[in-house]
């Protein structure tokens, strides 16, 4: 029996429902949809970074990364990154931010696959990202 | 060679195309997008539970669960649950239903990760859910 | 240590950002979101097949297949196919094309699970597809 472990970085706000920010079972790690919430402050409602797409995107990527690391993984283990944007016009800017971010990460392996689609998100949120990782 | 097995609960309507309601290969189980269709009745078109979000959500969760169980899995094995809603205003109510449902399930392990986004769905459908599970 | 390998068919245009068209690690293969771009021509911007849904869908499926095959997999290994359409009215026609396509593939195993949702896509694109495969 392989145990499923919840991954809950200390910086993260409590999920708004009965789900985990991330789970790991064997060598599979799944990160739940992350948004650009700033590190949790006790007694305060979750607040997104912002208001720019850049700020939200970088905070969202940091939130995904924190969960990967909580599970002993890194971006090098990411197999699939799903990017949800609210506006097709944000695609080029998101790609710029995404590229610069991953350049800085100094990936040692092939970059993750990715799908980007345009959906609705709760008011104030411009981007949501989730990720599937396979650990070595 | 590990075989890929189709998971087709007796209660399920025939998929509208050449896909399986669920598949299992080795310890990986994938549930296709489920909607709130009531148990299939021969000779009748698929009919969603309804008309409320509550009825559709509970039926959708039951449909996902039937496929997990057909593959010898349970909600405890779920790593990722993807929730597609059509209306941001349904988020709070869906969470309430979702939480109560999973309280009742008596999960023994960490709850699954989850992503919720807002998309279009065929007329009459308010929610769609799919799931990835890793068996122990 | 299991290596993560980028899957880059020769026919594919360069991704618009730092991601791989597909990655494989151990027995898990993930195909990034593919659209109906025709085989890459050096010095030309990516051009979608079209303008019909049929042409784009078949090209998109061919692009997914090329990545599966680059990783030594086939449609028989596909566990989950995610179809993103822009218009609910395209569902029936997409299913017809999808069914005929997979009939021709002569699948030896259970067809993949599938989720179809309706989202926004960049101008001119009617369909996007990604896939998760588990190799035998």
Higher pLDDT, C100 or C43: C100
Structure confidence by residue, pLDDT tens digits, B13-46: 888 899 999 999 999 999 999 999 999 998 898 9
CB–CB of A79/A132 below 8 Å?
yes
Q: Which residues of B touch A (CB under 8 A)?
A: 27, 76-77, 79-81, 88, 91, 95, 98-99, 102-103, 109-119, 132, 134, 136
Least confident stretch, A99-103, A121-125, C21-25, C42-46: C42-46
Q: What is the CATH number of the domain that holds C75?
A: 3.30.1330.40
Q: Which chains touch B (3 or more CB pairs under 8 A)?
A: A, C
Strand partners, C102: none
Cα gap B134→A2, rounded to integer Å: 9
Say which DSSP state A37 is in: B
The total of other beta-carbon atoms located within 10 Å of residue C92's CB is: 10
- Specify the pLDDT at position B39: 94
Whether residue A79 and residue C30 make contact (CB cut-off 8 A), yes or no, is yes
Please list the residues that pair with A34 across neighbouring strands. A129
Number of domains in chain B: 1
The residue segments making up the domain with residue B91 are 4-134
User: What is the pLDDT, as a whole number, of residue C100?
Assistant: 97
The answer to ipTM > 0.95 is: yes
Secondary structure (H, E, C), chain B? CCCEEECCCCCCCCCCCCCECEEEECCEEEEEEECCECCCCCCCCCCECCCCHHHHHHHHHHHHHHHHHHCCCCHHHEEEEEEEECCHHHHHHHHHHHHHHHHHHCCCCCCCEEEEEECECCCCCCEEEEEEEECC
Q: How does DSSP classify residue A88?
A: G
Q: Quick one: pLDDT band at residue C59, thresholds 50, 70, 90?
A: very high
Q: Distance between CA atoms of C30 and B73, rounded to whole angstroms?
A: 23
Using the beta-carbon criterion (under 8 Å), do A113 and C21 form an inter-chain contact? yes
Q: What is the DSSP letter of C118?
A: E
Chains touching chain A at 3 or more Cβ pairs under 8 angstroms?
B, C
């Amino acid at each position: 029996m392989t145990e499923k472990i919840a991954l809950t970085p200390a910086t993260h706000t409590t999920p708004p429902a009965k789900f985990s920010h991330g789970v790991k079972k064997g060598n599979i790690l799944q990160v739940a949809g992350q948004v650009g919430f700033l590190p949790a402050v006790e007694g305060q409602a979750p607040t997104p970074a912002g208001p720019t797409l850049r700020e939200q995107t970088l905070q969202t990527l940091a939130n995904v990364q924190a969960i990967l690391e909580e599970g002993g993984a890194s971006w090098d283990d990411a197999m699939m990154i799903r990017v949800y944007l609210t506006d097709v016009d944000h695609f080029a800017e998101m790609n710029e931010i995404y590229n610069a971010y991953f350049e800085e990460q100094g990936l040692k392996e092939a970059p993750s696959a990715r799908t980007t689609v345009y959906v609705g998100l709760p008011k104030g949120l411009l981007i949501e990202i989730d990720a599937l990782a396979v650990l070595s």
